[in-house]
Structure 1
Amino acid sequence: MLYRIARPADWAAAQHTSFFASPDLAAEGFIHASELSQVLDTARKHYQNSPDAVLLEIDEAALATAQVRVEREWAESRQAYFPHIFAPIPLSAVARSWPFPVDEAGRAALPKDLG
Structure 2
Amino acid sequence: MILHILPESDWPVAELRPASLATEGFIHCSDPGTAHLPANRLFRGRADLLLLEIDPAKLDVALRWEPGSPPIPDGPWFPHVYGPIPAAAVVAAHPFPPNSDGTFTLPESLAHR
Q: Using structure 2 for the length normalisation, give the TM-score.
A: 0.84
Query: Which amino acid in 2 is paired with 1:68?
Result: V
Contact 1:56 1:96 in 2 (8 A): yes
Residue ranges of structure 1 left out of the alignment (5+ in a row): none
Q: Could you report, residue by residue, the CA deviation over 1:41-72 in whole angstroms, capped at 9, with x for unpaired residues?
A: 22111111321100000001111xxx211011
Residue ranges of structure 2 left out of the alignment (5+ in a row): none
Aligned to 1:47: 43
Contact 1:48 1:103 in 2 (8 A): no
The answer as to 2:66 corresponding to 1:73 is yes
Identical columns (%): 35
Q: After the TM superposition, which residues 97-112 of structure 1 pair with which residues of structure 2 at under 5 Å, given as runs?
A: 97-102=93-98, 106-112=102-108
Q: Using structure 1 for the length normalisation, give the TM-score.
A: 0.83
Q: Could you report, residue by residue, the CA deviation over 1:59-102 in whole angstroms, capped at 9, with x for unpaired residues?
A: 01111xxx211011123325221110011110000011111123
> Which SS does the other structure have where 2:33 is aligned?
helix
Q: After the TM superposition, which residues 1-115 of structure 1 pair with which residues of structure 2 at under 5 Å, given as runs?
A: 1-12=1-12, 14=13, 18-63=14-59, 67-75=60-68, 76-77=71-72, 79-102=75-98, 106-115=102-111
Would you tell me which structure has more helix in proportion to its own residues? 1
